């Protein structure tokens, strides 16, 4: 027996604003709504491309609304369930997109990308997370975002140490910074996905990419690899030796407090996505322009099986079109995809933000102050044997929530490595 | 606030002739509130009960009714015991901290005092603020790296307030008390003013001091107010969500993950609407059960104290 979710929820929400797909009021062109993330470094460039499109297409209009990261993830799901989704749905691809596809909420864009000139403008590696059962349901947009190890060069000089080449070096550095009253690593533990970035690298460098590939494929007992236990023990050892700042469990990433710790010199290092560069440039005053920020791929772990060139993170961001939108709104969205989002100004904008655009042939644009960072990120993304998608985005929302919950408990020493493995084996394939 | 109970009209013969007309007027006056209550109270509640017997990820257009599957999932969830424990811990601690302080403050403010005007304005400010705003403010003040302690260089203030399990619970109770004690002292202030002055005069003649007067007159006279205020506190603590969510997000680990937070995480983060609805139903049942229990404890709490009624 089934009932219509739209009937109850839709009726209750019908009176609540006109952000949904039914919000089109103009006559000829569509008026697509667009939801995305707020804040530096992305929001100004998202806004800029929408302004550009609206100016070039006077009879169509895209209206954006921006939300904070964690709030957005909940908001977009609720809106989809209530049939009040925006025309343009911003996301991370992977497991989240898969659940939208299974619910019939997003438009199949395979035919749009059947056009080789459009597809050819985007990096080929970015389409994996947009593809479900061989069909493309989202357009890769914005930037390629590998996760890297950042460090504060001024603090390193002050303490008289050099950047770590191996995980063993990191372990040696921790007590040295602690002795000077500087947190070795900044971590926004309350947000949980930040802790997850550590686990992604620790697992990859210890055990290679196979363990997570098996988890992603739904193979039973995948977490039972002995290398996983070893990696989890290493993470808890880091917590026990105070590798993270005091109060890391109550630091939230939404306010960029973790970034502030690094650029104010209260912390020496930080594992974070490449988007962090733009945040530190925008908020850290002279820190980035003065060459205070250093970066590198996560170093190899002694005796680990993983290829040190591997990386993890976001192979792109993704824009889908709501299947519930009107035909006119869908046309507006598709026009936005095939014109504004692949034009030269879009590419230049994301380069200016300090990121590596998901648009092909960007290398010649890396000439300004951020050139070195962008060349390095581009090289990491292109040179990686495996570019693993962030775990919480690759998995289904149900499995991802259990994963994030257990990761938070692992960092709080509330679960043992063995309990962690058992808990996580319990939700494989869910 | 038993004094607000409407005067009973039993046995009043003269009113009977007017009964029909005032009755129908009464119905029309109640109707808008009643319609609102049905539409925004009862209908969603029934929807949640229905959802708890279904399996839904929150985004598919159709909902599968799957009997007790979601209830089984909710009741066997390893986090449920912890969430229940955290909920009752927050409830008990916030009652224990708030009640004595509210009674003392309420009694203090009920007396004639030239500071009362100042207090009335200054002290009730927390009542005007939303929980989210309060939580954001405290979160910033308590930050061990950028907060008050670090800013002023006061080591004692510079604790990991929200990052350690016991401290996080204690901090939460403090913030809850800061927010709600003004409201409860207001209730007590009103109740203390209702106590006949003659009782205190008699006690003074008998030579009772202030403490004795408080223990033997004020406290017993506040019995029904204590029950009302406690019911509001206890049932209200079940609904704490915004404050916990912004302050700790249920963390560190699951140390402050009360039932309402658990419900949100299951429903909106793990996309398990069925088990989340089951928890919501449990919350409603616990709330109703506790209110009934408190009424029982207070004896005939609905009996009016007004003379001759």
Contact by Cβ (8 Å): A85, A29: no
Chain B stretch 161-180, residues whose beta carbon is closer than 8 A to a beta carbon of chain A: 161-165, 168
Contacts 24+ apart (CB under 8 A), B228-232: B228/B1, B228/B2, B228/B187, B228/B301, B229/B99, B229/B102, B229/B184, B229/B187, B229/B188, B230/B95, B230/B99, B230/B294, B231/B290, B231/B291, B231/B294, B231/B295, B232/B184
DSSP letters for A365-385: GTTSTTHHHHHHHHHHHHH-S
Distance from CA of B91 to the nearest CA of A (A): 22
Confidence of residue B124 (pLDDT cuts 50, 70, 90): confident
Q: Which CATH architecture has domain B77-269?
A: Orthogonal Bundle (1.10)
Q: State pTM to two decimals.
A: 0.84
Closest CA to A426 of A227, A218, A229: A218
Q: What is the SS3 string spanning chain B? A: CHHHCCCCCCCCHHHHHHHHHHHHHHHHHHHHHHHHHHHHHHHHHHHHHHHCCEECCCCCCEEEECCCHHHHHHHHCCHHHHHHHHHHHHHHHHHHHHHHHHHHHHHHHHCCCCCHHHHHHHHCHHHHCCHHHHHHHHHHHHCCCCCHHHHHCCHHHCCCCCCCHHHHHHHHHHHHHHHHHHHHHHHHHHHHHHCCHHHHHHHHHCCCCHHHHHHHHHHHHCHHHHHHHHHHHHHHHHCCCHHHHHHCCCCCCCCCCCHHHHHHHHHHHCCCHHHHHHHHHHHHHHHHHHHHHHHHHCCCCCCCCCCCC
Tell me, what's the ipTM? 0.83
A92 and A77 Cβ atoms separated by less than 8 Å: no
Chain B residue numbers touching A268 (CB-CB < 8 A): none
Say which of A100, A250, A401 has its CB closest to residue B252. Answer: A250
B20 falls in which pLDDT band (50, 70, 90)?
Answer: low
A397-411 and A94-102 are packed helices; what angle lies between their axes, rounded to 10 degrees?
150
Residue A88 has pLDDT above 60, yes or no: yes
Q: A10 and A86 in contact (C-beta within 8 Å)?
A: no
Range in B15-29, B102-116, B157-171, B177-191 the model is least confident about: B15-29
Residues of A in contact with B266 (CB under 8 A): 401
pLDDT for position A17: 40
pLDDT at position A135: 95
B160 to A246: CB separation less than 8 angstroms, yes or no:
yes
* Residues B245-254, mean pLDDT to the nearest whole number: 90
Domain A32-142+316-361, CATH number (from 3.20.20.10, 3.40.50.2300, 3.30.300.30, 3.40.190.10)? 3.40.190.10
Segment A297-324 mean pLDDT:
93
pLDDT of B116 higher than 90: no
- Characterize A7-33 residue by residue with b for buried, 16 or more Cβ atoms within 10 angstroms of its Cβ, and e for exposed: ebbbeebeeeeebbbebbeeeebbbbb
> Residue A149 carries which DSSP code?
E
How many beta-carbon pairs below 8 A join chains A and B? 137
Asked whether A181 and A392 are in contact (CB, 8 A), the reply is no
Is residue A116 predicted with pLDDT exceeding 80? yes
Q: Using DSSP, how many helices (H) and how many strands (E) does chain A show?
A: 19, 15
Mean pLDDT, residues A187-215: 93
pLDDT: is B157 or A327 the higher one? A327
pLDDT band at A288 (very low <50, low <70, confident <90, very high): very high
Q: What is the mean pLDDT of chain B?
A: 85
Helix or strand (DSSP H, E) at A419: helix A417-425
Buried b (16+ CB within 10 A) or exposed e, A256-272: bbbbbbbbeebbbbbbb
Which of B44, B61, B250 to mutate against chain A (most A CBs within 10 Å)? B61
Best residue of A247, A252, A407, A420 to probe chain B, by most B CBs closer than 10 Å = A247
- Set of chain B residues whose Cβ sits within 8 Å of the Cβ of A6: 61
Distance CA B61, CA B43 (A): 20
Separation of alpha carbons A320 and A327, rounded Å: 15
Over pLDDT 90: what percentage of chain B? 51
Tell whether the model's pLDDT for residue A15 goes beyond 80.
no
State pLDDT tens for residues B24-78: 788 888 899 999 999 999 999 999 999 999 999 888 888 889 989 999 999 998 8
The pLDDT tens digits of the residues spanning A201-210 come to: 999 999 998 9
Provide the β-strand partners of residue A269: A151, A185
Evaluate if residue B10 carries a pLDDT over 50: no
Instruction: State the pLDDT at residue A124.
Output: 84
Reduced to 3 states (helix: H, G, I; strand: E, B; else coil), residue A117 is: helix
Tens digit of each residue's pLDDT (9 = 90 or more) over A37-72: 998 889 999 999 999 999 999 988 999 999 998 889
CB contact under 8 Å between B57 and A245, yes or no, is no
Q: Is the pLDDT of residue A108 over 80?
A: yes
Which chain A residues in 8-47 lie under 8 Å from chain B, judged by CB atoms? 8, 12
State how far residue B243 is from chain A, nearest Cα, in angstroms: 14
Secondary-structure class of domain A147-313+390-426 per CATH: alpha beta
In chain A, CATH 3.40.190.10 sits at: 32-142+316-361, 147-313+390-426
**pLDDT, tens digit, for every residue of A220-262?**
999 999 999 999 999 999 999 999 998 899 998 888 899 999 9
Residue B253's closest chain A neighbor by CA? A409
Find the helix or strand (DSSP H, E) in which A334 lies.
Answer: helix A327-338
């Amino acid at each position: 027996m089934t009932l219509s979710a739209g009937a109850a929820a839709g009726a209750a929400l019908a009176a609540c604003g006109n952000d949904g797909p039914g919000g089109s009021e103009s006559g000829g062109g569509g008026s697509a709504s667009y939801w995305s993330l707020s804040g530096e470094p992305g929001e100004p460039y998202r806004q800029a491309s929408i302004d550009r499109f609206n100016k070039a297409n006077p009879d169509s209009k895209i209206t954006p609304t921006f939300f904070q990261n964690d709030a957005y993830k909940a908001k977009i799901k609720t809106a989809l369930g209530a049939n009040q989704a925006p025309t343009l749905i911003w996301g991370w691809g992977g497991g989240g997109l898969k659940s939208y596809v299974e619910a019939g909420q997003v438009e199949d864009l395979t035919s749009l990308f059947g056009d080789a000139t459009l597809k050819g403008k985007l990096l080929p590696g970015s389409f994996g997370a947009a593809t479900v059962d061989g069909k493309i349901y989202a357009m890769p947009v914005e930037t390629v975002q590998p996760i890297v190890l950042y460090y504060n060069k001024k603090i390193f000089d002050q303490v008289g140490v050099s950047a770590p080449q191996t995980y063993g070096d990191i372990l040696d550095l921790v007590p040295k910074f602690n002795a000077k009253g500087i947190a070795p690593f900044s971590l926004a533990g309350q947000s949980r996905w930040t802790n997850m970035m550590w686990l992604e690298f620790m697992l990859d460098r210890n055990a290679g990419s196979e363990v997570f590939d098996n988890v992603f494929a739904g193979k039973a007992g995948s977490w039972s690899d002995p290398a996983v236990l070893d990696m989890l023990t290493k993470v808890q050892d880091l917590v026990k030796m105070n590798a993270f700042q005091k109060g890391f469990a109550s630091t939230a990433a939404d306010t960029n407090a973790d970034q502030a710790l690094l650029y104010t010199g209260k912390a020496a290092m930080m594992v974070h996505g490449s988007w962090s560069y733009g945040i530190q440039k925008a908020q850290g005053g002279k820190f980035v322009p003065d060459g205070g920020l250093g970066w590198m791929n996560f170093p190899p772990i002694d005796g680990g099986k993983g290829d040190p060139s591997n990386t993890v993170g976001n192979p792109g961001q993704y824009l889908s079109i709501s299947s519930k939108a009107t035909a006119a709104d869908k046309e507006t969205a598709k026009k936005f995809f095939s014109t504004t989002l692949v034009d030269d100004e879009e590419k230049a904008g994301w380069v200016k933000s300090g990121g590596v655009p998901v648009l092909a042939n960007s290398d010649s644009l890396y000439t300004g102050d951020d050139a070195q960072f962008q060349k390095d990120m581009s090289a990491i993304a292109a040179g990686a044997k495996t570019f693993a998608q962030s775990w919480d985005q690759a998995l289904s929302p149900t499995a991802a929530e259990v994963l994030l919950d257990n990761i938070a408990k692992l960092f709080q020493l509330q679960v043992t490595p063995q309990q962690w493995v058992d808990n996580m084996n319990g939700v494989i394939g869910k | 606030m038993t004094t607000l109970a409407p005067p009973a009209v039993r046995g009043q013969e003269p009113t009977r002739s007017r009964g029909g007309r005032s009755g129908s007027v009464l119905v029309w006056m109640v109707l808008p509130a009643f319609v609102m209550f049905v539409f925004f109270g009862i209908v969603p509640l029934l929807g949640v009960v229905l959802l708890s017997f279904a399996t839904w990820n929150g985004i598919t257009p159709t909902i599968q009714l799957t009997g007790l599957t979601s209830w089984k999932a909710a009741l066997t969830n390893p986090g449920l015991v912890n969430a229940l424990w955290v909920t009752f811990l927050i409830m008990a601690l916030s009652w224990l901290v708030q009640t004595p302080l509210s009674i003392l403050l309420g009694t203090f403010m009920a007396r004639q005092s030239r500071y009362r005007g100042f207090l009335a304005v200054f002290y009730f400010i927390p009542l005007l603020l939303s929980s989210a705003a309060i939580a954001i403010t405290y979160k910033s003040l308590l930050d061990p790296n950028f907060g008050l302690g670090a800013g002023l260089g006061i080591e004692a203030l510079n604790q990991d307030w929200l990052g350690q399990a016991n401290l996080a619970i204690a901090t939460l109770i403090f913030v809850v008390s800061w927010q709600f004690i003004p409201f409860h002292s207001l209730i007590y202030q009103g109740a203390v003013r209702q106590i006949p002055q003659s009782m205190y005069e008699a006690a003074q003649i008998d030579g009772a001091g202030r403490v004795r007067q408080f223990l033997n007159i004020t406290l017993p006279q506040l019995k029904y107010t204590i029950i009302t205020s406690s019911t509001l506190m206890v049932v209200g603590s079940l609904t704490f969500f915004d404050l916990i969510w912004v302050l700790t997000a249920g963390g560190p680990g699951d140390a402050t993950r009360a039932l309402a937070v658990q419900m949100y995480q299951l429903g909106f983060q793990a996309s398990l609407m069925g088990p989340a609805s089951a928890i919501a139903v449990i919350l409603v049942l616990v709330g109703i059960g506790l209110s009934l229990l408190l009424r029982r404890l207070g004896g005939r709490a609905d009996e009016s104290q007004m003379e001759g009624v």
